[in-house]
């Protein structure tokens, strides 16, 4: 007679490999280092994409200037977020 886990493995063969993967000894995940670095990379990439996409779309109908101060402010704000993420990433890499 088959055990309950053997019956489940026959019904769901992927579950057996998943359980074997979980049984392997692995090094603990370094949440502070790896997570922070990956998060900062994503913020930096999203920031330059936002600058490329958002700043040209920012349009003030009531302004008569070619390049409005509102566009400058939005670009500087996004660039500040990018710079902050880069500084955090560099400080984390040095430690």
Tens-binned pLDDT, residue by residue, of the chain (95 aa): 666 656 655 665 555 555 555 555 555 555 555 778 888 999 999 999 999 998 888 776 777 776 678 888 889 999 999 999 999 999 988 87
* Domain membership flag for residue 47: yes
Q: Domain containing 64: what range?
A: 27-94
Of 38, 77, 83, residue with least CA distance to 54 = 77
Phi/psi at 74 (5° precision): -65, -40
Query: What's the pLDDT at 34?
Result: 74
pLDDT number for residue 13? 56
- Got the DSSP string for the chain? ---HHHHHHHH-HHHHHHHHHHHS--PPP-IIIIIHHHHHHHHHHHHHHHHHHHHHH---TT---SS-HHHHHHHHHHHHHHHHHHHHHHHHHH-
pLDDT of residue 44: 95
Domain presence at residue 17: no
- Domain assignment present for residue 46? The answer is yes
């Amino acid at each position: 007679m088959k055990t309950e886990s053997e019956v489940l493995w026959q019904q769901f063969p992927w579950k057996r490999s998943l359980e074997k993967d979980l049984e392997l000894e692995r090094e603990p995940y370094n949440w502070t280092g790896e997570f922070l670095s990956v998060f900062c990379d994503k913020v930096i990439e999203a920031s330059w994409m936002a600058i490329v996409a958002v700043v040209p779309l920012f349009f003030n109908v009531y302004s008569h200037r070619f390049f409005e101060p509102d566009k400058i402010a939005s670009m500087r704000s996004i660039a500040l977020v990018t710079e902050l993420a880069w500084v955090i990433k560099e400080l984390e890499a040095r430690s």
